[in-house]
Structure 1
């Protein structure tokens, strides 16, 4: 339960930082945040650690937690690495996904389309996460999956915010998902690899565009 609470707090705070509602340089005190969300300090501490891992805050001994401006070059580096990892996952998924995983991929795509039709950005962001993580799983390479998931978690706030803040990103993302899923289901490994890498590159461009617009 506390892990779920920490994740909710993490996403809420990340959204506030990326939208500019919490400004760079602002201090974040555990007890103040705990009072704001009506929880104990434990999930808040976990959420702040997650924010630090993404580069959105800095934690210093005896100085507490401070919101920072993540360097654009660091964001580009992480997206570049994730793009290569996800492209490899997509290629392997096209070759290795089980029939059950392929059916699940089709179901997740239906959820993406439903969220898109309803213009429900939160549901789309949730379905987007399921889409990518299923492709990691479908690679049937545990080491690759673990590395990709760890990097996804660091970049997730930036990708998620683009669905809420960048005009047209959700529609473009769905179109890209359609191409990736069709390539995987058709067992076209090279096309799946190329389309996934392009998809992550577009996510990078939108995340950087949004981040720089807040400065």
Structure 2
């Protein structure tokens, strides 16, 4: 990841301009950008143009947008990070508040605003950001769950929900089907408890 520019104020907040140069950089960007951040980058936008005769034509133009990120999707196959959100800086092609998707890809620079060094330091201590093989396992897990029709939620380690999850295994699942082996385990526990109760009564 190439650092093209950086500004940080006394409150440890600032802006960074980055350019991913290899696929591993896209994973770093995925871990770096969070919902609520502002991201500025170039994009292609389809615009409608009205001619003097009243007819309309459409064309695709390249423009620069800044969006408030509402959702993040990492397409590992295409190596593209898709950020969805509302435009927060109006220009001649896109109105303020209009929804748009920014595609971050290799060798396309982007500016991350309202960036917190505190968040960066937290992520640097996150083993998921350090172990390459483990990161690949997480990506494969996410893809397999989505391919099976499941929904994946990623919790920030800065949020209480992420902290609680990290205290367990770091991964959890909500199952919508019975697991016989788990039910058998619960039955065994109940039987052990009942047996313990009988022994206490005999005393």
What is the TM-score normalised by the length of structure 2? 0.28
The structure whose RCO (Cα within 8 Å, separation 6+) is larger is 1
Higher fraction of helix: 1
Structure (1 or 2) with the larger CA radius of gyration: 2
What is the TM-score normalised by the length of structure 1? 0.27
